[in-house]
């Protein structure tokens, strides 16, 4: 089994080629559009939905079969053809030109595989079984989508603002202190009183020493060091 390195790609303004025009190919488009990619499709036939994407200018559709040279200038390619002979040609060219390639349901031809995605707000969870069982990855996705743990994602804007404030004041906060501050009190405050109250509470714990249960020195905060942490585990 291959050992894959997990990574998130910045595709903004990058050329992404999809070879194939069926339902699977069409299903790749929304996430690619959200990433800001410049999407090109090569296929003699496409779905009605993909035709609408092309008509609106969201993708560029070339109405023909794939030919060698189509990967020139491409950053990422996705082959969704169901024709292994074609996939082999695409794979050979991608390997030659150093283009990242995902061939749907044909792992040996992939230089990367697409994970199952769970998304809530700005937080994205990517789930992979290393190509062993896409069905299992989907099962995890379905289970996690409704899991209460995803509620923590709602705090992302507050944490982002707090992080900017810490940077603005040119302070260093030990990573463990951040972990100690992301607690039920913060979540309850956010739910009941909104962003501003949650921000005040968080900054109080992080840098203003308004909670005497926290470590008095931000630079020495370590696992098990905060009184608030020890109370949770006692």
Position 209 confidence tier, pLDDT thresholds 50, 70, 90: low
Q: CB of 183 within 8 A of CB of 228?
A: yes
Going from the N-terminus, what domains does the chain have, and what CATH number goes with each? 15-114 (3.40.50.720), 115-146 (3.30.160), 153-233 (no CATH)
Q: How many residues does the chain have?
A: 234
Token digits of residue 55:
């008509």
Token digits of residue 172:
């260093």
Give me the residues paired with residue 15 across strands: 38
* Rounded average pLDDT over 158-174: 90
Give the span between the Cα atoms of 186 and 201, in whole angstroms.
7
Give the span between the Cα atoms of 49 and 26, in whole angstroms.
7
Measured over all CA atoms, what is the biggest interatomic distance in the chain, rounded to whole angstroms? 69
For 21, counting Cβ atoms within 10 Å of its Cβ (0-12 exposed, 13-18 middle, 19+ buried), the class is buried
27 or 224, higher pLDDT: 27
Res. 232: pLDDT tops 50: no
Give me the residues paired with residue 61 across strands: 41
Average pLDDT, the chain: 88
Give me the residues paired with residue 116 across strands: 127
Res. 158: pLDDT tops 80: yes
Res. 50: pLDDT tops 70: yes
Give the span between the Cα atoms of 182 and 226, in whole angstroms.
13
Position 1 confidence tier, pLDDT thresholds 50, 70, 90: low
* Rounded average pLDDT over 169-181: 84
17, HSE (Cβ side, Cα atoms, 13 Å): 23
pTM: 0.76
């Amino acid at each position: 089994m291959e050992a894959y390195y997990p990574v998130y790609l910045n595709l903004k303004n990058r050329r992404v080629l999809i070879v194939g025009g069926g339902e699977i190919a069409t299903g790749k488009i929304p996430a690619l559009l959200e990433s800001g990619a410049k999407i090109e499709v090569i296929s003699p036939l496409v779905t009605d939905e993909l035709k609408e994407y092309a008509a609106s200018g969201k993708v560029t559709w070339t109405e023909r079969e794939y030919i060698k040279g189509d990967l020139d200038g491409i950053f990422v390619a996705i082959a969704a053809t169901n024709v292994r002979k074609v996939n082999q040609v695409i794979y050979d060219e991608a390997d030659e030109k150093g283009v990242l390639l995902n061939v749907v349901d044909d792992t040996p031809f992939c230089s990367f595989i697409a994970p199952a995605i769970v998304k809530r707000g700005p937080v994205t969870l990517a789930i992979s079984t290393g190509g062993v069982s896409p069905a299992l990855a989907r099962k995890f996705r379905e289970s996690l989508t409704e899991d209460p743990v995803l509620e923590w994602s709602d705090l992302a804007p507050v944490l982002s603002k707090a992080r900017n404030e810490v940077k603005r004041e040119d302070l260093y906060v030990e990573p463990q202190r951040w972990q100690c501050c992301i607690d039920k009190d913060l979540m309850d405050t956010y739910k009941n009183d909104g962003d501003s109250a949650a921000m005040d509470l968080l900054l109080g714990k992080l840098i203003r020493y308004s909670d005497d249960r926290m470590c008095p020195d931000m630079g020495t905060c370590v696992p098990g060091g905060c009184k608030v942490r020890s109370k949770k585990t006692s």
